[in-house]
Amino acid sequence: MDILSGEEALLAASDLVFKKMRVDSRFSKFWAFADFPEFEVHVRRFLKGAFGGAEWPELRVTDDVIANYDGLADALVDALDRPLALGTDVMSEAFNLLTTDMSDDERVLFFLERIEEIATAHADIAVTESNEATSQRASETAEDPDVVEAEESAIREAMQNSIVATEALAQDINVLAFEELLLPEAQINAAQDGWRLFLSTSSSQEMAGEAIYSALFEGAPSLQALFTTPRAVQAMRFLTCFSSFVEALSDPARLHTFVDTIGLRHLHLDVTIPRVVIFRDAILDLFSVELGEKFSQQAMDGWKTLLNYVGGAIIFVKTNYSERITLIFTSWKTANAKSTKESGSEEQGSGPKGKGSGDKTSRFKNMVVIRYKKTDNRASESDQVGQEHAQDGDDKTLAGGVPTTYPEMFAFNSAVMGFNDKKWMKEVLDCFHNIVTNVSNSARLQEECDVLALRISRVAKGSVNFADYKSCMLATLRAILPKDWSTSHEVAWSWLWENVERVLMKTMGKPPKWQDSLTKFYASLTEETKFEMRADIYARFFVGAPAGQDYFKQSNTYLHIIADKIMEMTLEIYATPVQMVDEISALGLRHVGYGIPTELFGPFVSACVEMLNTCTKDECVIDAFRWSLGLVSQMLTRTIQEGSTIVMKAITTNNSKLLRKAIS
């Protein structure tokens, strides 16, 4: 294990404690209903006491850190024998006692003192080695003190710049470069065979995804805080990603593209080398347990290299692509600021007779509207001729009325480039601002791309060539930012759209099929079956999240109405995505007033998906339901989080003091 400090050391130590307890027979009966994320929080809070709540110093986190585990476990057993509050997580509450009522227990103090001793010993060794090295350099360069100072400065700078790289190389994780992964053919075949064997051990894809999810978050609960997506949805995402990776092992360029997209999705997460190691080891342990001797050493090496590659690439993308993202933000802001400024000047310059520049711009806008407007088949021939004359007349005004906003310039360029018949480009244009401004927020970017895929599926006829939008987009940005545009801008914006395109392509073509399957499935249900499905949702939800009962105190009739509405939304979002986005946003704001914790959405979605799995074996129906419900849940969660302002919180808690403070 590498030398760690701060949160990374605390994280690694908490995982060691958790793994030890998971195999301790004294606690096995308590894990069935344990809240792992909450328990992990209490473990970390307890371990912080090792240094009086201060940040952990540098130390080597190995099993020696928890050498006094037996005493700690005995203390926890005593804590479990004490009366605990009803309705709480037993393990979490018991561990919390170790930091409160039992903080003076000798066994607890002995455990924490051992950690302090290891840190002190490591510090002493480091000081000794540093002094010896300094003395040696001083003796070698005693005649020239400037050399000593220069060397020490260079060493400090090198250590600062390469600490991450050193830790990564120790784990065979490359964070300094992101190149194509070339594996021996034997390792590729073994890794792919191992993956197929793992899938064959599960009764369904859902069970395989659930096995991966459980292995990750039960073996390393500290990782669960990074993934807020509902369990049923996240489990399938893991499965899909792993399948894409292992299938692309024989095509390095394709694998590089997949991993690049994954890196973009993880920009908002704090991915570190220790977390990559924890993730990698959890997956390898899962394969070893499930496959046994069938998981060969070649397969082990192949998967280890693959997971190291993905983890290192995610860290590399976050570190090195930040400049691209900054360039995208600044250039987009400049373009919009310029548009706003020029729009304001046009309003001031337009006189009552319409002879100012505003009049020319308005004529250009009319031309744009006409170009995008669909010709009514029922219109008279004279009307169509009139429209053509209007277009010709407005074309002549271009010399005096140049478009200044991105939408106007894009409309003009698309008309010139012959893209007027591509209605899907208008859908992209409507969503483009949200996509650009959320490029560093992978969860929101995924949400915007999912909604865009639904919108495109409603208007696109035949195949969609996203390269057309890219060419028109770049032409538009070059025209709006002629002085600022550079090769770096070209690379950054091309990179953005290529990643967006890859995200869209994962969903393109599926929504119509999903909608048809879900429609037929709902139509086949009897009222009795629907009633049983609704009841099953709440039964599963209240078992998985007992706290949810405090927020569903309505009558059974009303609860069934809520469940019915949820099922309707999973279908309506395919049919009317634009309208549903507005309705879901409004619903989310109402939930802010209700004070609903967003942590409950994940268990509720999982309960719904589990219920559906018992009602049908049609993979298309299950995928359609899971995908749309996951999207609805994600939108609701985001709306609640964004709407939970200090004013809304004061209103929800009915606290006049907080309200006055919020509006002051």
- Measuring CA to CA, which residue among 479, 472, 354, 310 is closest to residue 405? 479
pLDDT, position 555: 83
Q: CB–CB of 249/255 below 8 Å?
A: yes
Look up tokens 């950054």; give the residue: 492
**Mean pLDDT in residue range 518-534:** 93
CA 497 – CA 483 distance, rounded (Å): 22
CA 573 – CA 514 distance, rounded (Å): 11
Please spell the DSSP secondary structure of 381-412, one letter per residue.
HHHHHHHHHHHHHHHTTTTT----SHHHHHHH
**Mean pLDDT in residue range 92-96:** 82
CA geometry: angle 260, 258, 290, nearest 5 deg? 120
Q: Poorest-confidence range of 24-33, 245-254, 301-310, 483-492?
A: 24-33
Six-digit token pair at 401?
């009325």
pLDDT, position 353: 41
Number of other CB atoms surrounding residue 531 within 10 Å: 14
Look up tokens 């993880």; give the residue: 266
For 558-607, the pLDDT digits (tens) are: 889 999 999 999 999 999 999 999 999 888 888 877 777 777 888 899 89
- Measuring CA to CA, which residue among 536, 539, 544 is closest to residue 613? 536
Q: CB–CB of 464/456 below 8 Å?
A: yes
pLDDT, position 661: 66
- Measuring CA to CA, which residue among 235, 250, 259, 244 is closest to residue 195? 244
Ramachandran class of 312: left when φ > 0, alpha when ψ lies in -120 to 50, beta otherwise:
alpha
Q: Poorest-confidence range of 168-182, 231-245, 437-451, 507-521?
A: 168-182
pLDDT band at 307 (very low <50, low <70, confident <90, very high): very high
Q: Across all residues in the chain, what is the average pLDDT?
A: 78
Q: CB–CB of 476/409 below 8 Å?
A: yes
Residue at 606: amino acid letter: S
- Measuring CA to CA, which residue among 474, 1, 541 is closest to residue 278? 1
In the chain, the percentage of residues whose pLDDT exceeds 70 is 77
Q: Poorest-confidence range of 99-103, 275-279, 650-654?
A: 650-654
pLDDT, position 592: 78
Q: CB–CB of 493/439 below 8 Å?
A: no
**Mean pLDDT in residue range 377-406:** 46
**Mean pLDDT in residue range 440-468:** 89
For 44-69, the pLDDT digits (tens) are: 788 877 777 777 787 777 777 788 88
Backbone φ and ψ of 59, nearest 5°: -165, 160
pLDDT band at 120 (very low <50, low <70, confident <90, very high): confident
For 485-506, the pLDDT digits (tens) are: 999 999 999 999 998 998 899 8
Q: Is the pLDDT of residue 649 over 80?
A: no
Please spell the DSSP secondary structure of 545-588, one letter per residue.
-GGGGGG--S-HHHHHHHHHHHHHHHHHHHH-HHHHHHHHHHHH
Instruction: Name the range with the highest mean pLDDT among 195-204, 259-268, 344-353, 655-664.
Output: 195-204
Ramachandran class of 654: left when φ > 0, alpha when ψ lies in -120 to 50, beta otherwise:
left
End-to-end Cα distance, the chain: 52
Residues facing 4 on adjacent strands: 59
Q: Is the pLDDT of residue 11 over 60?
A: yes
CA 238 – CA 32 distance, rounded (Å): 23
Q: How many residues does the chain have?
A: 664
- What domains lie within the chain, and their CATH numbers? 3-136 (no CATH), 185-318 (1.10.490.10), 406-508 (no CATH), 512-663 (1.10.490.10)
pLDDT, position 62: 78
Helix (H, G, I), strand (E, B) or coil at 59: strand
Neighbouring residues of 104: CB distance < 8 A, sequence distance ≥ 6? none
pLDDT, position 298: 92
CA 3 – CA 63 distance, rounded (Å): 13
Which residue spans within 53-120 are E strands per DSSP? 59-60
- Measuring CA to CA, which residue among 625, 359, 659, 390 is closest to residue 514? 625
For 136-148, the pLDDT digits (tens) are: 555 554 545 555 5
Enumerate the H helices of 182-251 as residue ranges.
185-200, 205-219, 231-247
Enumerate the H helices of 23-105 as residue ranges.
36-48, 69-81, 90-99
Q: Is the pLDDT of residue 523 over 90?
A: yes
Which helix or strand (DSSP H or E) is residue 4 part of? strand 3-4
pLDDT, position 429: 94
Q: Does 462 or 503 have the greater pLDDT score?
A: 503
Rounded to the nearest angstrom, the gap between the alpha carbon of residue 97 and the centroid of all alpha carbons in its chain is: 34
Q: Residue 656 burial by CB count (10 A; 0-12/13-18/19+): exposed, middle or buried?
A: exposed
pLDDT, position 635: 92
Look up tokens 């994600």; give the residue: 634
